Structure 1
Amino acid sequence: MESGQANSGVEKMSMQLMIPLLPCIQSRACVCGEEKMSLPPPSSFHYLSQRPQNYTPSLKLVNPMPKAFKALAFAPDSESGRLKNEVEENLHIRRKKLAVFVSGGGSNFKSLHEASLQGRIHGEVSVVVTDKPGCGGSEYANEKGIPVVCFPRRSSLPTALSPFDLITRLREFQVDFLLLAGFLKLVPVELVQAYPRSILNIHPSLLPSFGGKGYYGLKVHKAVIASGARYSGPTIHFVDEHFDTGRILAQRVVPVLAKDTPEELAARVLHEEHQLYVEVVEALCEERIVWRNDGVPLIRIKGRQDEYW
């Protein structure tokens, strides 16, 4: 088959896949060459099949197509109803703004940011907060053009913000949720009160075990191995005024092997952290967190009103 015929076939198939989605995205701003334009209504797209054979379109979406849209385009009939519900839910939910708090390398922050760019998370990282301006997480933010603010203020960092100044700055960025990703400082009560049920932390053990002040990094995994525990894993919980005592939202379990070193266990847990945090923040931004009458938070399964995980 000649290359021109192959390209024509691919373009035709791509347009067939996109047609069911056009009513959902026709108002989305697009870029064609250097000029911004709006997509015409679906009824006018028939002209695309009549363009010259060697024509190469430069049409692209400003924002990446959300994961649910992509899934719907390729979904079998048995799944299309559920996925359609997901798409409709996302269309009515405002894209959230996130603040990520880091103290170290920021691997969880990086996984969250990448998921946001891919359209998996219905939100964007608007600002990074750190107590260590030279840490890997803050350097990554600088590379990606994400604003970085320092907190808390101390003698060695006099330009850092006070709790009230930080709240003011976060509100300037219109932040919806605060995500702690290896942030080692205690979150002050003023911040907890300003953002109720809106601050998450990830901890590298199955809370309430091996949590609290002093339990961070390899110290957690050394304590798990020394205890003889057969299982460990990350916990994501809402933040209160104390270390690691807020309501648990999600956990994932990994085995502790007989000859594990702290470093080996840490790597196994961290792999799960990257996946779990993205899944939880995805649910958070899609407003799928519900609270039981006894104050326990649950995550509703996407597209299913009465099922939780």
Structure 2
Amino acid sequence: MLAHKNVVVLVSGGGTNLQALIDAQNRGEILPGKISCVISSNPQAYALTRAKNAGISTLAVPRKEYGSREQYDEAILAVLEKQQADLIVLAGFMYVLGEKVIRRYERRIINVHPALIPSFCGDGFYGLHVHEAALNYGVKVTGATVHFVNEVTDGGQIILQKAVEVEEGDTPQTLQKRVMEQAEWELLPKAVSLFCQGKIK
């Protein structure tokens, strides 16, 4: 019998990737993991409403209430410790975690990125910026990547990837939607499940 794993999800916005995780949890797909808490850097994030609707405990840790990055990292660390987090999932979390958090939870923090790393990743590549860059470059295939988080933005070990075709007439918005629906929402729950089952080496 596999040991229960507390999955803590960090968010900042609408929470579409969080919803994909909640839906997967409801289908029994992330066992023995369970989303124990959702933490937002933005108290108004709709992701918090999604969590509450699913009966998951929530917490807002607003970045602007802390004077320095170090203080904010300490606050996040304190919450993660209290929640006894086994796995931390960054699902649209618009803050780069500091070294102290990353070292404390080495190989226990995963992120989903809306491109095939090492393309269109690193500092400044987030949200629609990623899809704008892919379209401007003229790639025919893009996709999503789930990876471990380390000190380098989007630089951690790759866990899963899935390719998505770029279609004629795509805008950043249409491409973002297709990458989410065809790749991100599938890969993220799968990666959480693999981690919780001890299948990632």
TM-score, length of structure 2 as denominator length: 0.91
* Pair 1:280-2:191 in alignment: yes
Q: Name the amino acid aligned to 1:214.
A: G
- Does the residue aligned with 1:121 lie in a helix, a strand or coil? coil
Deviation for aligned residue 1:126: 0.8
Deviation for aligned residue 1:155: 4.2
* Pair 1:213-2:138 in alignment: no
The answer to whether the 8 Å contact 2:115/2:121 transfers is: yes
Deviation for aligned residue 1:156: 8.0
The answer to whether the 8 Å contact 2:73/2:97 transfers is: no
Q: What is the distance in 2 between the residues matched to 1:155 and 1:172?
A: 20
Query: Cα–Cα, structure 1 residues 226 and 154, in superposed 2: closer, same or farther, change >3 Å?
Result: same
1:25-60 CA distances to partner (integer Å, 9 max, x unpaired)?
A: xxxxxxxxxxxxxxxxxxxxxxxxxxxxxxxxxxxx
1:166-222 CA distances to partner (integer Å, 9 max, x unpaired)?
A: 223222222100000111110111110111100000000111111112211111111
Q: What is the distance in 2 between the residues matched to 1:215 and 1:270?
A: 16
The answer to whether the 8 Å contact 2:43/2:62 transfers is: no
2:85 maps to which of 175, 180, 198: 175
Q: Give me the CA root mean square deviation.
A: 1.9
1:120-150 CA distances to partner (integer Å, 9 max, x unpaired)?
A: 1111111111111111111212333322223
Partner of 1:105: 14
Gaps of 5+ in 2: none
- Does the residue aligned with 1:154 lie in a helix, a strand or coil? helix
1:229 maps to which of 114, 126, 139: 139
Partner of 2:45: 135
The answer to whether the 8 Å contact 1:113/1:124 transfers is: no
Q: What is the distance in 1 between the residues matched to 2:22 and 2:192?
A: 11
- Does the residue aligned with 1:149 lie in a helix, a strand or coil? strand
Deviation for aligned residue 1:117: 2.5
- Does the residue aligned with 2:64 lie in a helix, a strand or coil? coil
Partner of 1:114: 23
Q: What is the distance in 2 between the residues matched to 1:138 and 1:280?
A: 22
Q: Which has the higher contact order (CA 8 A, sep 6+)?
A: 2
Q: Name the amino acid aligned to 2:24.
A: A
Q: What is the distance in 1 between the residues matched to 2:24 and 2:168?
A: 34
Using the aligned pairs only, state the percent identity: 36
Q: Name the amino acid aligned to 1:276.
A: L
Deviation for aligned residue 1:259: 1.9
- Aligned pair count? 197
Question: Which runs of structure 2 are paired with 1:260-279 in the superposition (5 Å)?
Answer: 260-271=170-181, 272-279=183-190
Q: What is the distance in 2 between the residues matched to 1:105 and 1:262?
A: 17
Partner of 1:95: 4
* Pair 1:125-2:35 in alignment: yes
Q: What is the distance in 1 between the residues matched to 2:200 and 2:180?
A: 23
Deviation for aligned residue 1:232: 0.2
Q: What is the distance in 2 between the residues matched to 1:166 and 1:264?
A: 34
- Does the residue aligned with 1:222 lie in a helix, a strand or coil? helix
Gaps of 5+ in 1: 1-91, 291-309
Q: Name the amino acid aligned to 2:196.
A: C
Partner of 2:165: 255
